[in-house]
């Protein structure tokens, strides 16, 4: 059952990332963030630690799209760079326990 949930969340995240990057709609970015976060939590901490970096980048892209600050390619690149920098800082200095804390509240 968990394997099915991992596969479904991965498929949803890939499709929503493609749709989000092609349309730029904020809702699709948020769907991508949520489904990729579930995938990274359920896929284990070795693979999950790598995919949480993509979650953090998508999170900043979702925030930028929601507040309508990604109107051209330069602004998109700035938000993407900020997401990558945020991801590197979080992966370097924050423990995995805190990165996956929201999902641990469910248990």
55-102 pLDDT per residue, tens? 999 999 999 999 999 989 999 999 999 999 999 998 889 887 788 787
Taking residues 24-53, what's their average pLDDT?
85
Which domain range does residue 87 map to?
2-104
What global pTM score does this model have? 0.86
pLDDT of residue 46: 64
Identify which has the larger pLDDT, 104 or 69. 69
Taking residues 3-20, what's their average pLDDT?
94
Taking residues 20-36, what's their average pLDDT?
93
- Other CB atoms within 10 Å distance of the CB of residue 1: 5
Domain count, the chain: 1
pLDDT of residue 107: 65
- In Å, what is the CA distance from 7 to each residue of 10, 11, 25, 71, 92? 5, 6, 24, 33, 28
pLDDT band, very low/low/confident/very high, at 43 (cuts 50, 70, 90): confident
């Amino acid at each position: 059952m968990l394997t099915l949930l991992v596969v479904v969340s991965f498929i949803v995240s890939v499709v929503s990332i493609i749709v989000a990057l092609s349309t730029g709609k904020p809702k699709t970015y948020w769907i991508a963030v949520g489904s990729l976060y579930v995938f990274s939590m359920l896929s284990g901490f070795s693979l999950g630690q790598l995919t949480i970096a993509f979650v953090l980048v998508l999170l900043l892209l979702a925030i930028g799209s929601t507040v309508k600050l990604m109107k051209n390619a330069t602004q998109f690149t700035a938000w993407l760079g900020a997401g990558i920098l945020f991801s590197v800082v979080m992966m370097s200095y924050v423990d995995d326990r805190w990165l996956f804390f929201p999902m641990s509240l469910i248990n």
